[in-house]
A and B are shown apart, each in its own frame.
Chain A
Amino acid sequence: METRVFYPFIKKIIPVVVTIIIVLWLYIAYGALEYSFNNLAEFFRLTLEHFFLVIVSMTAAVSIGVSLGTIITRKGFDRFGPAIMAMVNVWQSVPSLGVIALAYGFLPIIGLSGIGVIPGLIALFFHAVAPIVRNTYAGIQGVSEDVIEAATGMGMTQKQILFKIELSNALPVIMGGIRTATAIIVGTAPLAFLIGGGGLGFWIFTGIALMDMGIMMAGAVPVALIAMLFDYTLARLEKIIISKGIQAEEYQEV
């Protein structure tokens, strides 16, 4: 009995603990901890900038991605669906570094600066919005016809059906898209430094340039931890906001 409850828990927790131990060991062994302590003010500034990049571009990607994904399921707009899906898919398929470079090269053409936080945010946004649009679209499309017909026939308005039925039932799929997008953004965010977007990428690239593992780790380790933190937070969030009636079984244990 006990092992049955315990085993999945252990299975989940062991890789996490092992990863954290390795990461922290790297952190300490290469002197990154010491470096961070000596540059505490800069550490906080870079971390804050990093969070800012991730959270702002995430927020934009979620709000615009979900809206766009929803709109192309609406009657009248559905014919734009394939075109919009093709477009966001292309954005996503460009390699991370490429997106950053494109933002750098493209923004001046439309009269914006290619350097700074804004281009960084824009690059991250474009890179991450695709899975959200795609999953929102697929999630809403995936809601059973019968459910929609019942709701319509019972006298729910289009708006009520969208919010109470379609989006609610698409939520597991949408959240899947958001997690993918987060992984992409967190993974790409260090590159924003290359076009002056700031963030922990500064230490990573400085470390690489100076061939100083300590400085590099001082940037890389917090980045890895931030990635884990976001993933964990989103996983918890899913359990809270997704109805128990549609949660996949794996979410229900613990």
Chain B
Amino acid sequence: MAIMLSLQEVTKIYPGAEHIKAVDSLSFDLEEGEICTLVGPSGCGKTTAMKMINRLIPMTSGKILIDDQNISRMDTIELRRNIGYVIQNIGLFPNMTIAENIATIPKLKGWDHDRITEKVESLLEIVNLPAEEFMERYPKELSGGQQQRIGVARGMAADPPIMLMDEPFGAVDPINREHLQNEFLKIQEKVRKTIVFVTHDIDEAIKMGDKICLLKDGSLIQFDSPEKMLTEPANDFVRDFLGGDRTLKRLNLLQLKSAMRPDPPVIMQEESPEKAKTMLTELEAENLIVVDQERLLIGYVDRDALTKMADTVGKVTLSTEAFLPATSSLKDGLSEIFTHDELGYLIVVEEDKKVVGILKEEDIKNILRK
């Protein structure tokens, strides 16, 4: 993957505050399509670091490269138009409709009318706000969460390869926040932007980041993937910052497919109960997953069920709720194991309910111990 954004020894000393370095020789590289969350205690230099990328704040020394080009040699306006910018307080233009807000930069870039309309409509669809209903509204006629989504849409309007987001969900209540985060990650799957995402919330940093950049007093303390940071914190500061429940946080991060046992034994519903009994004995198992021809989940059978008179397994199959998609988090998995414990394990399925694995409590323990 190509490196999209590179900070090299970037330092900021504010005039009038010469004794402290707001950002102290910060270096990191970001690959195309990655989200990097800048996180750290208040005043550690997150906003400063981010705003040097679109030159809202001039850097004191160092170099920033975008796509191998030095930003200090670029025209400021041109640079900014190619970087999406989303701020905590959103800053929608109150005098413009939603459509006009989103169209601002495309218009300044001289896109033609049809292309702009098309773009506005597709962006509204991406952020889940029906175009016909919202285009002509004004910002004051939207809820805070809706405004935030428009802010994100506006930031993406001119198809910038890079986006800067300063606590974009900071002003939103926890429930909507979680919702916006999930939505944003879905959007990101489609658009694959390179994103610098400032937050002071470590949980958000872990959830949103492909990389986490942890700062303290302007200095980089650790730059790693969330998984790496959680398993191998560089020092006590990182450990403290991640919190005492650092191990449990990994549950949120990991997906079922990373911990599951793939290709569990199953039986097709057309088979005879005798075959099922034999399998149970051979596997020394309590029960058996029942599937159809396409390996889609039907239910399960246990010894009790098999004592009933029937010519196929399908006729005595019991239904179960103990399954989850492979992309669910381990946290959801763990919760599900406790809620639906009829099988003693969780069935892992794909979107169409195709059985791909099972997950036991001890699998979760094992992966966390790693």
Contact = CB atoms under 8 A, between A and B. Distances in A.
A244 B97 CA distance: 9
23 contacts: A144-B89, A146-B89, A147-B91, A147-B94, A151-B104, A153-B54, A153-B56, A154-B105, A154-B155, A155-B77, A155-B80, A155-B82, A155-B83, A155-B105, A157-B77, A165-B95, A168-B95, A169-B93, A169-B94, A171-B95, A245-B95, A245-B97, A245-B140
A152 B56 CA distance: 8
A243 B77 contact: no
B90 A150 contact: yes
B81 interface: yes
A150 B87 contact: yes
A136 to B, nearest CB: 16
Interface in A121-155: 144, 146-155
Given A146-B91, A150-B87, 5 more contacts: A150-B85, A153-B51, A156-B104, A243-B138, A244-B138
A48 interface: no
B87 A246 contact: no
B151 to A, nearest CB: 8
Interface in B124-151: 138-140, 151
B87 A154 contact: no
Given A147-B92, A246-B95, A153 B77 contact: no
A153 B93 CA distance: 13
Contact of B85 (A148, A154, A171, A243): A154
Interface in B153-177: 154-155, 164
Contact of A156 (B96, B108, B139): B108
Contacts of B92: 147, 150
A160 interface: yes
Interface residues of B, number: 32
Contacts of A149: 56, 87, 91
Contacts of A157: 77
Interface string B312-338: 000000000000000000000000000
Contacts, number: 80
Given A149-B56, A153-B54, A245-B138, A169 B95 contact: yes
B59 to A, nearest CB: 16
Interface in B72-115: 76-83, 85, 87, 89-97, 104-105, 108
A148 B87 CA distance: 11
B81 A154 contact: yes
Contacts of A147: 91-94
Contacts of B80: 152-155
A168 B101 CA distance: 14
B66 to A, nearest CB: 14
B134 to A, nearest CB: 13
Contacts of B83: 153, 155
B90 A155 contact: no
Contact of B87 (A146, A160, A164): A146
A168 to B, nearest CB: 4
B79 A245 contact: no
Contacts of A165: 93, 95
Contacts of A171: 95
A10 to B, nearest CB: 28
B10 to A, nearest CB: 18
A140 to B, nearest CB: 13
Nearest to B76: A155
Contact of A246 (B94, B104, B155, B164): B94
B108 to A, nearest CB: 7
Contacts of A169: 93-95
A168 B54 CA distance: 26
Closest 9 CB pairs of A and B: A150-B91, A245-B138, A155-B80, A155-B81, A153-B85, A146-B91, A146-B89, A243-B95, A168-B95
A246 B95 CA distance: 6
Nearest to B138: A245
Nearest to A143: B94
Contact of B93 (A151, A152, A244): A151
B56 to A, nearest CB: 6
A153 B77 CA distance: 9
Most A CB contacts (10 A, CB to CB) among B51, B56, B94 go to B94
A49 B323 CA distance: 88
Contacts of B77: 155-157
Nearest to A158: B77
B96 A155 contact: no
A153 to B, nearest CB: 4
Nearest to A244: B138
Contacts of B139: 245
Interface in B280-299: none
B93 A154 contact: no
Interface string A240-253: 00011110000000
Nearest to A245: B138
Most buried by A among B80, B89, B91, B97: B91
